[in-house]
Amino acid sequence: AARSAASLRSPIVCIMGHVDTGKTKLLDKIRQTNVQEGEAGGITQQIGATFFAKETLKDKVAVLAQEAGLEVRLPGMLVIDTPGHESFTNLRSRGSSLCDIAILVIDLMHGLEPQTIESLNLLRSKRTPFVVALNKIDRCYGWKATADGSSRLSLQGQDGATREEFETRAARVRMELNERGLNAELYWKNEDPASTVSLVPTSAITGEGIPDLLLWITRLTQERLTEQIMFMPDLLECTVLEVKAVEGLGMTIDTIIVNGALRENDRIVVCTLDGPVVTSIRAVLTPPPSRELRIKSEYIHHKEIYGAMGVKICAQGIERAIAGTPIMVIGKDDNEDDIKEEVMKD
Ligand code: GTP
Ligand code: NA
Ligand code: MG
């Protein structure tokens, strides 16, 4: 169905943090996949993208939504996974540039680590709103899990000593954030999300806290970022993630469409190592909803696709496209040379 202006697009949510804090595992839990176990050394080395449909969001927050009286108005959510390993600063920077809001994952057992701090600095320099997922709560001694439940409610049901361990560790993270000039508070105690970072306890193993996290992000985006996530049908904003040869498809480029639309047969300009290349889109593909773009799947063909979305584009002449550069569409009334010049600007 055609989408009109004056409607919200899906927000882009970037997951960032130190290596092995559980970023990919959290996504696996939401998707019910095992992407992390298939990674070399369990280390993420690329930017990932997963689209969650509105129905999935509703479903995942159901344990909390009634009590919070939430109506999901977002058409969906595009979640970007980034590597935490120190050598991928450029990918964290790209991810944080693309997103509307971020989830900074901190290992409750470790507190702030070097790439936590690097991520914090990136987010602050770009003024990106974010929440903290305090992950691995299930590692508190004696933890009694309620699978896929609210972490706020789970905490209330823990024995005294277990809750105390959680409180002590959470207080330490809060203090470490304070030392970096950030106010932080457990999300249910946070009365001023504009100036205080919310901490959402989670476990990627038990699924606890995922309803809380998705609910909080949904509310923040649809209530506070409405301007930012307005859908603009005529304003294509699209960035190349990587070039990939795919069996049966030939050369493809994985992209993130932030806003606007892309169509089959659109004439586009792509930045390559040899300069701007004009080509036309042979196919617009996405993985099914709740599946990772960087994992080969039964791709869905689209005549037309709207941002925000992770999209695989098939076209000729794209093998030397440059990651991080924009793609532009040549419209009926556009001058091809003008667009070529514009695309190579950044
Ligand atoms: P990079 O992408 O390489 O930066 O790592 P990551 O942040 O994506 O972490 P990943 O999902 O690879 O998880 C790292 C390890 O922590 C894996 O062995 C996970 O099984 C484990 N892990 C992740 N989340 C949790 C959690 O909530 N509880 C426990 N107990 N283990 C977890
Ligand atoms: Na990892
Ligand atoms: Mg990962």
Structure ipTM: 1.00
Candidates 47, 43, 50, 53; CA nearest to 21 is 43
Pocket probe mutation, ligand 1, options 20, 89, 110, max atoms within 8 Å of Cβ:
20
Amino acid 3: pLDDT: 66
State how far the Cα of 113 lies from the Cα of 122, in Å rounded to an integer.
Answer: 15
Q: What distance in angstroms lies between residue 189's CA and the mean position of ligand 3's atoms?
A: 29
Residue 148 CB-density burial (10 A; 0-12 exposed, 13-18 middle, 19+ buried): middle
Q: Relative to the CA of 206, which ligand 1 atom is closest?
A: 27
Pairing of β 309-314 and β 283-286: antiparallel
326, 343 Cβ separation under 8 angstroms: yes
Side chain identity at 21, as an amino acid letter? T
Atom of ligand 1 nearest to the CA of 28: 11
pLDDT tens-digit profile of 309-318? Answer: 999 999 999 9
pLDDT tens-digit readout, 266-322: 999 999 999 999 999 999 999 999 999 999 999 999 999 999 999 999 999 999 999
Q: How far is residue 5 CA from its own chain's centroid?
A: 23
Give 44-95 pLDDT, tens digit per residue.
Answer: 999 999 999 999 999 999 999 877 788 999 999 999 999 999 999 999 999 9
Alpha carbon distances (Å) from 135 to 20, 117, 211, 314 = 10, 16, 14, 38
Distance of CA 203 from the midpoint of ligand 1 (Å): 10
pTM for the predicted model, two decimal places: 0.97
Q: Which residue has the tokens 């959290």?
A: 26
Helix (H) / strand (E) element for 213: namely helix 210-219
115, 25 contact by CB (below 8 A): no
* Cα of 32 from ligand 1 centre, angstroms: 15
Q: Residue 15: in which H helix or E strand, if any?
A: strand 12-17
